[in-house]
């Protein structure tokens, strides 16, 4: 029963985290496209608050994921090649998450050199990683 609770919480916090990961770069797109300072200032507030709001979800996703690995045990972890790949992909997502923070700070300083097109592409990048992570976790084909 404990494993089911850990899985449920892990999935819940992952979904909440991804809501922010998908929305924040979309805010960047709109921020990069505006010329009005009042609108830019509003985006700065929204971006900072969103990143700070979803970061605890990112941390809780990690906590419950590690709790699952611990509960299943070392032998299971060692034998789960799919999980090793998933862990690498998730590490990339955490790198992405903190890259978004660096962009929040750049926007806050009005120091953005990327176009809205760059942020559109950035907005869609985690979708492919999410697909791979879900397939690995559900199908366990490797």
**Per-residue pLDDT for 1 more than 80?**
no
Phi, psi of 98 (to 5 degrees): -75, -25
How would you classify residue 114: left for phi > 0, otherwise alpha for psi between -120 and 50, otherwise beta?
beta
Q: How many CB atoms lie within 10 A of CB 138?
A: 9
22/120 Cα distance (integer angstroms): 11
125/118 Cα distance (integer angstroms): 11
pTM above 0.95, yes or no: no
**Per-residue pLDDT for 108 more than 70?**
yes
5/135 Cα distance (integer angstroms): 21
> 32 near 41, Cβ under 8 Å?
no
pLDDT digits (tens, 9 = 90+) for 42-98: 999 999 999 999 999 999 999 999 999 999 999 999 999 999 999 999 999 999 999
130/86 Cα distance (integer angstroms): 10
Structure confidence at residue 124 as a pLDDT band (50, 70, 90): very high
Structure confidence at residue 141 as a pLDDT band (50, 70, 90): confident
């Amino acid at each position: 029963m404990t494993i089911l609770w850990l899985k449920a919480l892990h999935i819940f916090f992952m979904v909440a985290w991804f809501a922010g990961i998908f929305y924040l770069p979309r805010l960047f797109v709109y921020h990069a496209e505006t010329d009005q300072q009042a609108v830019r200032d509003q985006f700065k507030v929204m971006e900072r608050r969103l990143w700070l709001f979803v970061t605890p979800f990112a941390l809780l996703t990690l906590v419950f994921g590690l709790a699952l690995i611990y509960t299943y045990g070392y032998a299971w972890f060692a034998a789960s090649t799919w999980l090793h790949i998933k862990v690498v992909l998730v590490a990339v997502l955490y790198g992405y998450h903190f890259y978004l923070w660096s962009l929040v700070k750049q926007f806050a300083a009005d120091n953005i050199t990327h176009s809205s097109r760059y942020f559109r592409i950035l907005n869609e990048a985690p979708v492919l990683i999410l697909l791979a992570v879900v397939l690995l976790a559900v199908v366990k084909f490797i």
